[in-house]
Amino acid sequence: MTALADLINLDLSDSTDQIIAEYIWIGGSGLDMRSKARTLSGPVKDPSELPKWNYDGSSTGQAPGDDSEVILYPQAIFKDPFRRGNNILVMCDAYTPAGEPIPTNKRHAAAKIFSDPNVVAEETWYGIEQEYTLLQKDIKWPVGWPVGGFPGPQGPYYCGVGADKAFGRDIVDSHYKACLYAGINVSGTNGEVMPGQWEFQVGPTVGIAAADQVWVARYILERITELAGVVLSLDPKPIPGDWNGAGAHTNYSTKSMREDGGYEVIKKAIEKLGLRHKEHIAAYGEGNERRLTGKHETADINTFLWGVANRGASIRVGRDTEKAGKGYFEDRRPASNMDPYTVTSMIAESTILWKP
């Protein structure tokens, strides 16, 4: 009898030129990911070669039942680490049949900002640190934690090694390799301060591609946790009390910041971010007030401050950047459940286009 795994791993290129394209989009909550597959006649290299598709928006909270059709526009292609071969993952955004972006389509507005000539000229680089928590499926409690109880206090778990310190490394490493296979610029991963919590970093990546890659990396992670029988949580404070929350620290630089004299450009950009602190906080993720308390390596949500090597600040500048007089800074305010299209484009808009 043929094993199920053998069928899952069938190499289609042995018998057909056809490929499978998994179309991915963001659902009605703005955080849930949806996908469905279709057959294409042959390999595809560019999103412009792909057909638009549709789905039932009334089943995702994105359209009424009497006018439920939502149209998917392919925007970015990645190699499929699950089906492999010439099969692909396709990141899409969503529109009405009339061609208007639906309310949950944050990519459309971001694309406008990133296509502005002033933003293009600055070659915006992003490095996004996506933190997440792995939960036991049936009880929604972090993996490695005793049922109904707590592990020892924080301290030994950050970048920890050992069966009593690192929980879920097989998932983490599988995700790391799958993302690299897909063509996502994952630059690293590590265990976080709270046990059962991990982080991967995407970047440096230019412009809107950084957000596309974070979304597809999240999709791949959700698929892997599905296979492993655990639940992925992007909640910014999954466990109340004296435990670290989960963020999506966003490292950022422009061409002007990376050139000689860039430190002054960085300071001016940070000043502009401070003037729009409330607007950024409002767009940086749901439930962030539970995380940004002024404790556990955060600044208070109502306070904007920056500093060199200060992990309790809103904006952190690295020692190397200060010493070199150029480089990048880290916005530590975004929550783990932030929309990367919103956050990356808003930082670019505030620091490049916005005039106080």
Alpha-carbon distance of 193 to 243, in angstroms, equals 8
Host H or E run for residue 170: helix 169-182
CA 205 to chain centre: 12
Q: Where are the alpha helices (DSSP H) in 196-276?
A: 208-228, 255-258, 262-275
- Please tell me the pTM assigned to this model: 0.96
pLDDT of residue 250: 98
* Closest alpha carbon to 337 in 299, 293, 302, 291: 291
Task: Please tell me the predicted confidence (pLDDT) of residue 243.
Answer: 92
What H or E segment, with its residue span, contains residue 61? none
Torsion sign over Cα 348, 354, 355, 356: negative
* Distances in whole angstroms, Cα of residue 54 to Cα of each of 12, 25, 51, 62, 206: 25, 11, 10, 12, 29
* Residue 204: cis peptide before it, omega within 30 degrees of 0: yes
> CA dist 326 to 205, 255, 261, Å?
18, 10, 6
Please give the pLDDT value at position 272: 98
Hey, do 4-104 and 117-353 end up sharing a CATH topology, with the first three levels equal?
A: no
The ranges of the chain with pLDDT < 50 are none
Burial 107-117 (b: 16+ CB within 10 A, else e): bbebbebbeee
**Spatial distance between the Cα atoms of 105 and 342, rounded to a whole number of angstroms:** 10
208: left (phi over 0), alpha (psi -120 to 50) or beta: alpha
Q: What is the DSSP letter of 290?
A: G
pLDDT score for 102: 97
pLDDT at 269: 98
Pick the CATH number of 4-104 from 3.10.20.70, 1.10.1060.10, 3.90.226.10, 3.40.50.300: 3.10.20.70
Token pair listed for 259: 């050139």
Secondary structure of residue 137 in the 3-state scheme: coil
Domain spans of the chain, in order of start: 4-104, 117-353
- Cα 233 vs. chain centroid, distance in angstroms? 13
Q: What span, in angstroms and rounded, lies between the C-alpha atoms of 40 and 46?
A: 13
Strand partners, 73: 93
Q: Which residues contact 314 (CB under 8 A, 6 or more apart)?
A: 273, 274, 277, 299, 303, 304, 305, 306, 331, 332, 333
- Name the region of 332 (left: φ>0; alpha: ψ -120 to 50; beta: rest): alpha
Strands (DSSP E) contained in the chain are 19-26, 33-40, 53-56, 69-79, 88-95, 125-136, 186-191, 197-206, 230-233, 248-253, 306-308, 315-317, 329-331
Residue listed under structure tokens 């809107």 = 208
In CATH terms, the fold of domain 117-353 is Creatine Kinase; Chain A, domain 2 (3.30.590)
DSSP 294-339: S-SS--BTT---EEET-TTSSEEE-HHHHHHT---EEE---BTT--
The amino acid occupying position 53 is W
pLDDT of res. 162? 97
**CA–CA separation, 307 and 320 (whole Å):** 13
Residue from 140, 136, 142 nearest 198 by CA: 142
Residues composing the chain: 356
Structure tokens at 221: 């992670």
Residue 312 has what pLDDT? 84
What is the model's pLDDT at position 1? 52
